[in-house]
Amino acid sequence: MDIAATSLTNSTVTPQTETSEAVISSDFDTFLKMLTVQMENQDPLNPTDSSEYAQQLATFSGVEQQVLTNDLLNALMVQMNTTGMAQMADWVGKEARATAPAYFDGSPVTLAPNPASVADKVELVVFNAAGDEVQRMEIPKSSDPIEWAGTDINGTPFPSGIYQFQVESSSNGEVVLSEMSDVYAKVQEVRSENGESILILEGGIAVVASSVSALREA
């Protein structure tokens, strides 16, 4: 299992309305010139039906309107996304709960496990950034938050870095559910990426804002 912090670069989405309109205008001028040449060079004994010209004009007009509509929708999406980021500005500095790895720097990490209701034994399995299992410990059969101290059985702290937490629920000696635990991590930044609001957590871990299930003061 490979675990890595997700690093996102800033990107700015710029509406392409002016560029698209320029292209449409250029294409329409070209279309009219071609239509004019077609009319001038048609066979006088077998002229093209005027309804065909009307159909061509209507088709081009429909394409033009569709492109302009798409540009408008893109501009609205950018505006809505910017508004959403502004509304989430106060998330920075708070702790968000999400299903994601967590960065350990020596301080305990708060986990929010969700074991199976039929389980008679629940274990927390911890993996390091390389995907190696570094610890396995039994935890209460409860969805209440718990603290992972980040120390081994001798009390020696694990190295700082990114860790992932798996919750294994067993019944009668068989694993019935194994899923990644939610963690609480401080929000360091809110970004816009591909039309979505992205939260950058401690350690550079990125999560989609819509995946956050809780928010609390740090």
Question: Per the structure block, which two tokens stand in for 80?
Answer: 């809505």
The pLDDT, as a whole number, for residue 137 is 96
Q: What is the pLDDT of residues 104-145, one digit of tens each?
A: 999 999 999 999 999 999 999 999 999 999 999 999 999 999
Q: Which long-range contacts (CB under 8 A, 24 or more apart) does 128-136 make?
A: 128/3, 128/158, 128/161, 128/162, 128/163, 129/3, 129/4, 129/161, 129/162, 129/163, 130/2, 130/3, 131/1, 131/2, 131/3, 134/158, 134/163
Average pLDDT of 162-170?
Answer: 97
Most confident of 42-51, 72-81, 131-140: 131-140
Instruction: Please state the domain extents for the chain.
Output: 17-87
pLDDT band at 11 (very low <50, low <70, confident <90, very high): very low
Return mean pLDDT, the chain. 80
The pLDDT, as a whole number, for residue 77 is 52
The pLDDT, as a whole number, for residue 122 is 97
CA–CA separation, 34 and 111 (whole Å): 67
Least confident of 35-49, 125-139, 171-185: 35-49
pLDDT band at 185 (very low <50, low <70, confident <90, very high): very high
Cβ-contact 13, 195 below 8 angstroms: yes
The pLDDT, as a whole number, for residue 49 is 64
Integer-rounded Cα radius of gyration of the chain: 29
User: What distance lies between CA 203 and its chain's CA centroid?
Assistant: 17
The pLDDT, as a whole number, for residue 3 is 58
pLDDT band at 43 (very low <50, low <70, confident <90, very high): low
